[in-house]
């Protein structure tokens, strides 16, 4: 599927003097070798955070949602903020694997595996919140249209929350299948290299009996394309539907037709930022500097700049419309003078700073190509996007239609604990993944080795001289 | 075909000579089974008739029984009737007419009982009764688990016969010595009890009856007695008034026993085109002041001169006085009074005989027909001089016995230490009390009295109107009525019931039926107007001028709407009822003006969790320091004045959660509620439990529409274009009303019942009776101070309060004055800050039962859906608790069960104890944790009405629904009207067509079934 020629002025995507075997060794090393101290430290911290989160969730379910900081006028805050944040993070995976595949972007090959893994793990976290934010989560299955014995009870297809159920579950299943399909040849590689019988057995199972025949490869390519076609609309649909939780409501600040495209852009923005954060760490820890290069970082930063720009324009238009309507009900939406000067001014300005101002540094090429620079900016965007969702939810709900209902929200330790717990859970999953899964789609990278590998390019370019 | 095959059991059978095989042919087992060893000796075994089969049966049965016992459900104690009482049918409510007279609140009520338990108080409309929040909540005080359960002597339990015997012996001893016996009571207003006390006095020699009110009207009684010769309070029929000037009289609150709200709003029915003009001169922001058309803010000492100045301006006399800062306004008021002539009235709450004399003289000068000296009121009888004399006598050892009833002087007296010291010197001290309160715990004998719902009694609320109290439940505890004891101690063997019946037959009924009077709850006779003597106003005025000193800061103590005088302070419904003005619950606090707060360094910062904090102050009155009083800034508080509610800070017989606030009675020196005070800021932060943080309407004027009477009466104005403007939208490039645009396909709602609720903002005084009624009817949980503080109150019905700047302008002009679309930051800020002396508006908000409900579409499990009769219904069992419906409700009326509020020791209120649970309405489910709840339009009550009509084979009568629904039936002023819009004779049809009608947030297009009527103020200045 890859073309066999790449212009000499293009930077190579694989650095160093690598042979196919070198790639295999590089990718298999973290799995076959022993984990270093840093891994254990990171894993312990993540596990503790995860357990703490489980404790907080148990406390919530055992005692009641009252252990959170919510009140009669602010029925959602950190729960749905975290939900939307995690779903948003999950967006980069599909975009990279599906959309970039269709557009034949070769640079995706170094990052798609981890981006997809991140997607799936993030959707796990996201899916947790709609369940535990329920007052009676043990009845959570009532949101599924299961034929039942409760009488004629059925779900309400008018409700955006129900749409969420379908959107998230579809997204998770398609992403999982897509991810696994890509993993098959790599699992087979690990199976073939494994020396311990148990490991061999496991990887044999995981690789679904991949044999490496031409027919396997042909089917693999076909399935990848079909799944990419299926997954591409999901990139748009999932966050569109999430945005409809707000857009179809009647709260000033939520009831906004701009939300679907704006949320999708925001999700890709935050998803790429998270990929940037994770790979920034991973390429160092697992010595994959030759595969995840400055060029990859720069390309991702460009996507961030584009989607960040869309988001900034959306903010501006929300701010403008709130003012332009002249409606007193729009005075205190999350993008308004009222919000900027009110009790949640700090949250408003955090959003502006982290999401609009800081990413502007990416216009500078050296920053865009700097590992540390993009790592820091990606952290800022992660924070900024969290604030975006918090602002939309908490600021809007804190100033509803009737001034008598105006109030504020303060998280309790349980709110914070659950959020930290999901970060821990995510970390646990990602760290386990990094030790057991091939973190780079080596089979695909090998396919571009001779086109975009540094040594091969040198050889080829040398011939021209 | 039979088989001849032989089956081998073992290889052993091959061996033909095997002994084992031979044995096995005879026996089942090779060797004997050692049954002897475990079955014991054969003899006993043979004696037993238990066979092996029986044994297996027993095993099976006991296993089944054990496993069944393990999954046994919770035990519910219920005892069926052996002989069913004739009048009680399970599931059918009974109603009894009765009367509450607890010395503070007086009202003719209808008691709803279910299965012999009173569960709801309604106004007795047959007796023209009205209820306030405290009367509504009184049913829960019946089930107070901290009530006194039996008689006690010096803290130890004693039997009634022993107690009565000992007391009788002591009384006889005292009689022989000729020592004085004092019967100290609150206001009784009970003709039979007064007769009984007279009999007791006759039997026991030197007996004095002292009446004592914690919130005394002694000055008014003294003044009235001097002029009219009777110790009573003048009555007022405000429905007849065209100008009302009130100087410090909170007549919509508890002033002179209250009960004026009905006639007040009757005189302000805008539909008639006329409404009284109400001018209020006061220092605290009272409920009355908040309803006034014009509110003039003066310190208490200035109010006295305002009264004299008003008198001078009306009569043209020149009594000695002083100038006040608002003399121009007072002259203006005088002009309006004079113009109104006999339709004018002046009332005052100044606790001074001379001031009351001037007020009486002023009304007489106006020849006011509003003041009624015929049907005079007996709702306050306390005599301050007698009380002070009693304390002095007790301390001097001149009193032999004190028998107190219906009063808690140890708690409510400022000089309670003197009282306690005096009581120690008395030979016999007896306290009749419902709980072991402050007085009962220092008296020798603490005798439990029944709650009024368990007792007989009679009350004369005003002259000529006699009411009866009847028991609606058997006494819960070992209680005896004060009257029964008194009969016993007077040597009579008659029961109080017989005494009451006989005394009514001889004194009241005049030959008419006792049963009818008991059924109605009220019996009325004609009364004559009293003749007035002349009043020496000049002397009164000069005395006032000489006495009135005033001070830099003056404190006015008052009774709060919720807690009143404090006798029901252990009632969680009342504690949870927010003050109508500050909207703070579970507290009393020093109210202070913004200017004084800034000067003295007090502030009320809003916390991040949406709660208000405050500073503490030490309040000093004449050497007495009340420590750590929380301070709350109150718009409309007069500069240099403070307000503080009494009734809090009680600690005896109170659940720990209910022990809130400070006891302000300690500052009411000499039973005077106005004191010169000084205030000093002290350290610490107080946590308030306020239900509303935002004071103003922030430029969203269509939420609460107001207009002036002039605009309302101006026929040239089209209401829809002027004072009741409807939001316009563009449809096909034409401006149309939002109500003409609809995305929804509407159903035909003209068949069957379709319920609407109309709320008249002009008639709503903000009293809160509906809020408590809703609690009682719908088992709404109480959540406690902390949860209210963090914004988790469960009120299905709340009364929003908004302050607006005082502009004698119509709302449309006001909208133009404030540029809401401006982007200037200071404008945003200004919109949120209430004015120094704001106008106040109340807006009851409950579920609006939108026909196009935003909550219904967003619920993923369809737990909330629309009823055929217009209700937005909530299926609790289906709710999974996503709270999306609450977020999408523009009215924010949905309430979430954050915790389990019943049978949970963390929420130790009425739903956590066996007595308190008896008040629960069996027709309404108690909600579980994690589900959403909200107003249901009392669907259990409307369905009951429909079923009753169906059973009777008739149509539902107009007004029947209105009287069934908790809030509208509790509303004294008729502000809430509930009914069926498909029944053309129903009042609601008229309300729906009224030109004042609008819907809350109409522009959203939710098509509410709750209607509001524009608030009208009479801004005409003479």
Instruction: Encode B603-627 in three state secondary structure.
Output: CCCECCCCCEEEEEEEEEECCEEEE
**Residues B376-423: tens digit of each pLDDT:** 999 999 999 999 999 999 999 999 999 999 999 999 999 999 999 999
Answer whether B700 sits within 8 Å of A71, measured CB to CB.
no
Range of the domain at A237: 20-455
Indicate if the pLDDT at residue A410 is higher than 90.
yes
Residue A445's pLDDT is 87
Confidence at residue A465, expressed as pLDDT on a 0 to 100 scale: 43
Please report the pLDDT score of residue A462 as a whole number. Answer: 61
Measured in degrees and rounded to the nearest 5, phi and psi for residue B879 equal -65, 130
Q: What is the mean pLDDT of residues A361-365?
A: 94
Q: Give pLDDT, residue A443.
A: 87
Task: Please check the confidence at residue B822 and state whether its pLDDT lies above 50.
Answer: no
Q: DSSP state, B664?
A: G
State the pLDDT confidence band at B440, using cuts at 50, 70 and 90. Answer: very high
Residue A465 lies in a domain: no
Q: Which of A70, A159, A328 sits opposite B820 (nearest CB)?
A: A328
**Distance (Å) from the C-alpha of residue B761 to the closest C-alpha of chain A?**
16
B459: pLDDT strictly greater than 50: yes
pLDDT at B694: 86
C-alpha torsion sign, points A64, A66, A69, A75: positive
Residue to substitute from A145, A154, A331, interface B, most B β-carbons within 10 A? A331
Q: Cβ A410–B883 below 8 Å, yes or no?
A: no
Residue B579: which residues within 8 A CB-CB, separation 6 or more? Answer: B560, B561, B562, B585, B645
Residues B152-216+382-508, CATH architecture: 3-Layer(aba) Sandwich (3.40)
CB contact under 8 A, A72 and B895: yes
**Which pLDDT tens digit goes with each residue over A114-145?**
999 999 999 999 999 999 999 999 999 999 98
What is the per-residue pLDDT for A85?
95
Of the listed ranges B38-42, B266-270, B455-459, B779-783, the least confidently predicted one is B38-42
Q: What average pLDDT score do residues A378-390 get?
A: 95
CB contact under 8 A, B610 and A407: yes
Q: What is the CATH number of domain B234-377?
A: 3.40.228.10
Q: Do A72 and B828 touch (CB under 8 A)?
A: no
pLDDT for the residue B649: 93
Q: Among B606, B700, B821, whose Cβ lies nearest the Cβ of A408?
A: B606
Q: CA–CA separation, B960 vs B983, rounded Å?
A: 11
The CATH 3.40.228.10 domain(s) of chain B lie at 234-377
Tell me: the pLDDT tens digits for B253-282?
A: 999 988 899 999 999 999 888 899 999 999
Residue B966 pLDDT class (50, 70, 90 cuts): very high
Confidence of residue B665 (pLDDT cuts 50, 70, 90): very high
pLDDT at B837: 80
Residue B989 predicted with pLDDT over 60? yes
- A9 has a pLDDT exceeding 90: no
Q: Is residue A1 part of a domain?
A: no
For the ranges A26-30, A48-52, B35-39, which has the lowest average pLDDT?
B35-39
B854 inside 8 A of chain A by CB: yes
DSSP string, A78-96: HHHHHHHHHHHHTHHHHII
Helices vs. strands in chain B: H and E counts, helices first: 34, 42
Q: B706-729+754-1017 is classed in which CATH architecture?
A: 2-Layer Sandwich (3.30)
Q: Any idea what the Cα angle at residue B530 is, between residues B311 and B513, rounded to 5°?
A: 135
Element (H, E) at B872: strand B872-874
State residue A70's pLDDT score: 95
DSSP string spanning A186-252?
HHHHHHHH--SHHHHHHHHHHTTT----HHHHHHHHHHHHHHHHHHHHHHHHHHHHHHHHHHTS-ST
Q: Give the pLDDT confidence score for residue B45 in this predicted structure.
A: 65
Please report, for residues A310, A348, A415, B111, the alpha-carbon distance to residue A419 in angstroms, rounded to integers and kept in the order given: 28, 20, 6, 52
Which of B820, B880, B884 has the CB atom closest to A139's CB atom?
A: B880
Residue-averaged pLDDT of chain B: 90
pLDDT of the residue at B207: 92
Alpha carbon B773 to chain centroid distance? 8
pLDDT at B72: 65
Residue B36: the pLDDT is 62
Query: Residue B985 above 50 pLDDT?
Result: yes
CATH 3.30.70.20 segments of chain B: 706-729+754-1017
Please give the pLDDT value at position B117: 93
A83-119 pLDDT per residue, tens: 999 999 988 888 888 888 888 888 888 888 999 999 9
The residues in B 861-890 lying below 8 A from A, measured between CB atoms, are: 861-862, 878-884, 886-888, 890
The CB-side HSE value for B176 (13 A sphere, CA atoms) comes to: 5
Return the structure tokens found at A281: 């760490």
Q: How many residues does chain A have?
A: 465
Q: pTM, whole model, 2 decimals?
A: 0.89
Cβ-defined contact of A403 to B697 (cutoff 8 Å): yes
pLDDT at B211 over 50: yes
What percent of chain B shows pLDDT beyond 90? 74
Closest Cβ opposite residue B899 in set A66, A338, A401 = A66
Instruction: Identify from A404, A408, A409 which residue to disrupt to test chain B contact, counting B C-beta atoms within 10 A and taking the largest count.
Output: A404
Domain with CATH 3.40.50.740 in chain B: 152-216+382-508
A400·B892 Cβ contact <8 A: yes
Of A137, A331, A400, the CB nearest to B890: A400
Asked if pLDDT for residue A146 goes beyond 90, the answer is no
Q: Is the model's pLDDT at B823 over the cut of 60?
A: no
Question: How far apart are the C-alpha atoms of B161 and B166, rounded to whole Å?
Answer: 9
Nearest to A250 among B843, B888, B930 (CB): B888
Q: Which two tokens stand for residue B197?
A: 């006390």
Q: Cβ(B180)–Cβ(B633) under 8 Å? A: no
The nearest alpha carbon in chain A to B904 belongs to A63
What does the alpha-carbon distance between residue A71 and residue B787 come to, in Å, rounded to a whole number?
A: 9
Query: How far is the C-alpha of B145 from the C-alpha of B977, rounded, in Å?
Result: 36
Give the C-alpha separation, A266 to B194, whole Å: 80
CATH value at residue A325: 1.20.1630.10
* Contact call for residues B667 and B555 (beta carbons, < 8 A): yes
Q: How much of chain B exceeds pLDDT 70, in percent?
A: 95
């649909």: which residue's tokens? A237
User: pLDDT value at position B827?
Assistant: 52
Tell me which of A350-359, B13-22, B657-666 is least confident: B13-22
Q: Are B500 and B105 in contact (CB under 8 A)?
A: no
DSSP classification of residue B560: B
Q: Which residues contact A315 (CB under 8 A, 6 or more apart)?
A: A335, A351, A352, A355, A356
Interface test with B, best of A405, A410, A414, A416 (most B CBs within 10 A): A405
Q: What is the pLDDT of residue B829?
A: 54
For every residue of B929-998, which 3-state class applies, written as one string? CCCEECCCCCHHHHHHHHHHHHHHCCCCCCCHHHHHCHHHHHCCCCCEEEEECCCCCCHHHHHHHCCCEE
pLDDT class of B725 with cuts at 50, 70, 90 = confident
Looking at residue A461, its pLDDT comes to 65
For the residues B65-74, what does the mean pLDDT come to?
Answer: 76
Per-residue pLDDT at A4: 66
DSSP conformational letter for A357: I
Q: Tell me the C-alpha to C-alpha distance, in Å, between residue B681 and each of B552, B664, B684.
A: 16, 17, 9
The reported pLDDT for the residue numbered B811 is 40
Residue B744 has pLDDT above 90, yes or no: no
Is the alpha carbon torsion for A246, A249, A254, A260 positive or negative?
Answer: positive
**Residue B832 pLDDT greater than 70, yes or no:** no
The answer on pLDDT for B291 being more than 60 is yes
Q: Do A155 and B608 touch (CB under 8 A)?
A: no
Tell which wins on pLDDT, A230 or A80: A80
Residue B31 has pLDDT above 90, yes or no: no
Is B879 close to A136, i.e. CB distance below 8 A? yes
Tell me which CATH code domain B551-690 carries.
2.40.40.20
State the total domains in chain A: 1
Would the pLDDT of B2 be above 70?
no
């Amino acid at each position: 599927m890859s073309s066999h020629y790449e212009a000499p002025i293009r930077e190579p995507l694989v650095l160093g003097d690598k042979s196919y075997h070198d790639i295999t060794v590089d990718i298999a090393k973290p799995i076959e070798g022993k984990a270093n101290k840093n891994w254990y430290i990171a894993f312990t911290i993540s596990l503790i955070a995860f357990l703490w989160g489980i404790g907080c969730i148990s406390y919530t379910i055992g005692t009641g949602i009252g252990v959170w900081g919510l009140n009669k006028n602010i029925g959602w805050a950190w729960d749905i903020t975290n939900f939307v944040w995690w779903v948003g993070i999950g967006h980069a995976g599909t975009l990279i694997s599906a959309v970039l595949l269709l557009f034949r972007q070769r640079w995706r090959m170094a990052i798609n595996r981890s981006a997809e893994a991140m997607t799936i793990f993030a959707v796990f976290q996201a899916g947790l919140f709609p369940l535990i934010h329920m007052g009676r989560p043990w009845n959570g299955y009532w949101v599924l249209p299961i034929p039942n014995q409760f009488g004629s009870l059925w779900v309400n297809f008018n409700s955006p929350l129900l749409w969420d159920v379908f959107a998230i579950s579809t997204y998770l299943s398609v992403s999982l299948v897509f991810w696994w399909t890509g993993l098959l040849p790599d699992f087979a590689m690990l199976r073939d290299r494994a020396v311990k019988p148990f490991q061999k057995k496991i990887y044999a199972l995981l690789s679904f009996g991949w044999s490496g025949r031409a027919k396997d490869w042909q089917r693999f390519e076909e399935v990848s394309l079909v799944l990419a076609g299926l997954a591409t609309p999901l990139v748009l649909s999932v966050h569109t539907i999430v945005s409809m939780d707000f857009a179809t409501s009647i709260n000033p600040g939520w009831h906004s037709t701009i939300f679907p495209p704006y949320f999708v852009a925001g999700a890709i923005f935050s998803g790429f930022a998270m990929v940037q954060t994770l790979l920034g760490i991973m390429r160092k820890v697992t010595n994959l500097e030759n595969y995840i290069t400055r060029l990859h970082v720069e390309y991702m930063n460009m996507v961030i700049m584009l989607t960040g720009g869309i988001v900034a324009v959306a903010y501006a238009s929300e701010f403008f419309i709130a003012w332009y309507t002249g409606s007193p009900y729009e005075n205190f939406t999350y993008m308004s003078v009222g919000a900027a000067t009110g009790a949640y001014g700090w949250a408003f300005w955090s959003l502006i700073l982290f999401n609009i101002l800081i990413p502007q540094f990416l216009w500078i090429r050296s920053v865009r190509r700097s590992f540390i620079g993009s790592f820091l900016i990606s952290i800022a965007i992660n924070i900024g996007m969290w604030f975006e969702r918090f602002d939309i939810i908490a600021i809007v709900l804190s100033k509803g239609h009737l001034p008598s209902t105006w109030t504020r929200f303060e998280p309790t330790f349980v709110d914070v604990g659950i959020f930290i717990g999901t970060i821990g859970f995510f970390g646990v999953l990602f760290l386990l993944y990094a030790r057991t899964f091939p973190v780079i789609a080596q089979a695909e990278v090998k396919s571009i080795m001779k086109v975009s590998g540094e040594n091969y390019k040198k050889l080829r370019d040398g011939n021209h001289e | 075909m039979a088989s001849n095959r032989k089956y081998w059991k073992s290889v052993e059978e091959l061996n033909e000579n095997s002994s084992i095989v031979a044995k096995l042919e005879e026996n089942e087992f090779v060797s004997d089974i050692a049954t002897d060893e475990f079955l014991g000796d054969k003899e006993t075994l043979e004696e037993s008739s238990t066979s092996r089969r029986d044994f297996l049966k027993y095993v099976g049965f006991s296993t089944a029984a054990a496993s069944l016992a393990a999954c046994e459900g919770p035990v519910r104690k219920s005892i069926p009737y052996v002989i069913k009482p004739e009048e009680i049918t399970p599931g059918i409510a009974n109603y009894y007419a009765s009367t509450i007279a607890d010395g503070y609140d007086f009202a003719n009520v209808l008691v709803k009982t279910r299965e012999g338990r009173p569960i709801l108080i309604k106004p007795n409309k047959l007796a023209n009764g009205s209820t306030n929040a405290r009367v509504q909540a009184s049913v829960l005080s019946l089930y107070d688990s901290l009530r006194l359960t039996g008689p006690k002597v010096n803290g130890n339990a004693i039997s009634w016969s022993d107690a009565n015997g000992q007391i009788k012996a002591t009384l006889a001893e005292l009689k022989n010595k000729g020592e004085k016996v004092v019967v100290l009571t609150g206001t009784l207003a009970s003709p039979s009890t007064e007769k009984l006390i007279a009999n007791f006095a006759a039997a026991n020699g030197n007996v004095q009856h002292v009446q004592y009110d914690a919130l005394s009207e002694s000055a008014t009684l003294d003044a009235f007695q001097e002029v009219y010769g009777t110790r009573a309070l003048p009555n007022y029929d405000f429905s007849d008034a065209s100008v009302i000037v009130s100087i410090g009289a909170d007549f919509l609150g508890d002033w002179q026993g209250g009960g004026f709200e009905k006639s007040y709003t009757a005189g302000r029915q805008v539909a008639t085109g006329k409404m009284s003009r109400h001018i209020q001169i006061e220092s605290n922001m009272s409920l009355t002041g908040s309803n006034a058309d014009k509110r003039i803010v003066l310190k208490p000492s200035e109010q006295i001169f305002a009264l004299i100045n008003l008198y001078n301006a009306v009569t043209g006399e020149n009594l000695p006085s002083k100038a006040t800062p608002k003399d121009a306004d007072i002259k203006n008021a005088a002009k309006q009074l004079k113009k109104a002539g006999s339709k004018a009235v002046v009332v005052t709450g100044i606790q001074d005989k001379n001031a009351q004399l001037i007020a009486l003289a002023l009304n007489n000068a106006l020849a006011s027909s509003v003041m009624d000296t015929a049907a005079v009121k007996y709702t306050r009888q306390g005599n301050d001089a007698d009380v002070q004399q009693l304390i002095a006598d007790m301390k001097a050892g001149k009193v032999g016995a004190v028998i107190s009833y219906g009063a808690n002087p140890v708690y409510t007296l400022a000089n309670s230490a003197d009282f306690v010291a005096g009581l120690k010197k008395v030979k016999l001290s007896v306290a009749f009390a419902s709980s072991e309160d402050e007085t009962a715990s220092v008296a020798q004998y603490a005798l439990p009295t029944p709650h009024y719902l368990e007792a007989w009694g009679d009350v004369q609320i005003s002259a000529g109107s006699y009411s009866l109290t009847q028991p609606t439940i058997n006494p819960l505890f070992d209680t005896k009525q004060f009257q029964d004891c008194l009969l016993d101690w007077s040597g009579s063997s008659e029961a109080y019931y017989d005494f009451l019946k006989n005394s009514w037959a001889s004194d009241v009924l005049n030959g008419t039926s006792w049963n009818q009077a008991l059924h109605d709850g009220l019996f009325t006779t004609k009364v004559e107007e009293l003749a007035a003597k002349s009043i020496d106003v000049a002397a009164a005025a000069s005395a006032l001028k000489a006495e009135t000193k005033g001070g830099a800061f003056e404190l006015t103590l008052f009774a709060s709407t919720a807690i009143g005088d404090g006798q029901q302070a252990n009632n969680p419904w009342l504690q949870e009822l927010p003050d109508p003005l500050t909207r703070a619950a579970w507290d009393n606090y020093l109210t202070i003006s913004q200017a004084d707060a800034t000067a003295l360094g007090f502030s009320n910062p809003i916390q991040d969790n949406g709660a208000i904090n405050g500073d503490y102050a030490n309040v000093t009155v004449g050497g007495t320091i009340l420590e750590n009083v929380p301070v709350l800034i109150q718009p409309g508080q007069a500069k240099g004045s403070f307000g503080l509610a009494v009734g809090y800070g009680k600690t005896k017989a109170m659940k720990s959660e209910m022990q809130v606030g400070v006891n302000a009675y300690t500052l009411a020196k000499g039973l005077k509620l106005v004191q010169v005070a000084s205030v000093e800021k002290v350290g610490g932060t107080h946590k308030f439990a306020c239900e509303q943080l935002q004071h103003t309407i922030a430029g969203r004027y269509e939420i609460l529409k107001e207009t002036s009477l002039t605009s309302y009466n101006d026929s040239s104005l089209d209401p829809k274009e002027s004072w009741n403007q409807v939001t316009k939208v563009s449809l096909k490039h034409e401006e149309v009303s939002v109500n003409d645009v609809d995305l929804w396909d509407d159903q035909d709602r003209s068949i069957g019942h379709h319920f609407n609720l109309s709320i008249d903002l002009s008639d709503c005084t903000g009293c809160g009776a509906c809020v408590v009624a809703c609690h009682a009817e719908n088992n709404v949980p109480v959540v406690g101070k902390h949860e209210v503080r963090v914004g988790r109150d469960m009120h299905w019905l709340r009364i929003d309060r908004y302050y607006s700047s005082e502009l004698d302008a119509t709302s449309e002009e006001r909208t133009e004055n404030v540029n809401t679309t401006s982007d200037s930051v200071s404008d945003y800020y200004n919109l949120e800050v209430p004015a120094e002396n704001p106008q106040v508006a109340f807006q009851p908000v409950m579920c609006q039962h939108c026909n196009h409900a935003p909550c219904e579409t967003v619920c993923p499990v369809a737990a909330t859906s629309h009823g055929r009769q217009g209700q937005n219904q909530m299926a609790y069992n289906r709710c999974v608790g996503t709270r999306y419906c609450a977020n999408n409700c523009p009215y924010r009326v949905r309430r979430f069960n954050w915790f389990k509020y019943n049978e949970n020791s963390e929420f130790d209120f009425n739903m956590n104890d066996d007595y308190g649970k008896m008040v629960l309405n069996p027709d309404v489910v108690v909600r579980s944790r994690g589900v959403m709840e909200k107003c249901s339009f009392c669907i259990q009550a409307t369905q009951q009405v429909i079923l009753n009509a169906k059973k009777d084979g008739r149509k539902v009568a107009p007004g029947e629904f209105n009287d069934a629904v908790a809030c509208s039936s509790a509303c004294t002023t008729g502000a809430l009207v509930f009914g069926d819009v498909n029944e053309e004779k129903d009042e609601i049809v008229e309300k729906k067509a009224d030109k004042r009608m609008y819907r809350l947030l109409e522009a959203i297009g939710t098509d509410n079934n709750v209607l509001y009527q524009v608030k009208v103020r009479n801004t005409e200045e003479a």
